[in-house]
Amino acid sequence: MAEHETLSRTTGATVLTLVVVACAAGLADALRRRVRLRRRARHHAGAESVPAPAHTHHGSPTIPRQRATGPSAETVRLTEAERDAFAVLVRRLSEGD
């Protein structure tokens, strides 16, 4: 029984250590990228001190920003026969339930 408890504790400590190391590595990588972005911004601006880009303040700099608007709406004009055929298709599919 004592051998089993020792093995469980050793395994648990090992797993916990690996998780901590992985989190620390991820944090270090994110910080490294943030510093690299700031340096690049300073270099391109040609100034000594440039504030960090806006996206580094509100989220991870490793995730690209999403578009604020969606794609443009698409419309297709149907003839009367196409509308009737579509209505028949919808009726058939709804009856299948």
Token pair, residue 81, equals 């026969």
C-alpha distance from residue 38 to each of 10, 57, 95 (Å): 42, 12, 61
- 12 pLDDT tier (thresholds 50, 70, 90): confident
Span 33-46, average pLDDT: 81
Q: What is the pLDDT of residue 27?
A: 87
Burial of 5 (0-12, 13-18, 19+ CB in 10 A): exposed
Give 45-91 pLDDT, tens digit per residue. Answer: 765 555 555 554 555 566 777 777 777 778 888 899 999 999 999 99
3-state helix, strand, coil in the chain (%, to 5): 65, 0, 35
Which of 11, 47, 53 shows the shortest CA–CA distance to 33?
53
Span 13-18, average pLDDT: 90
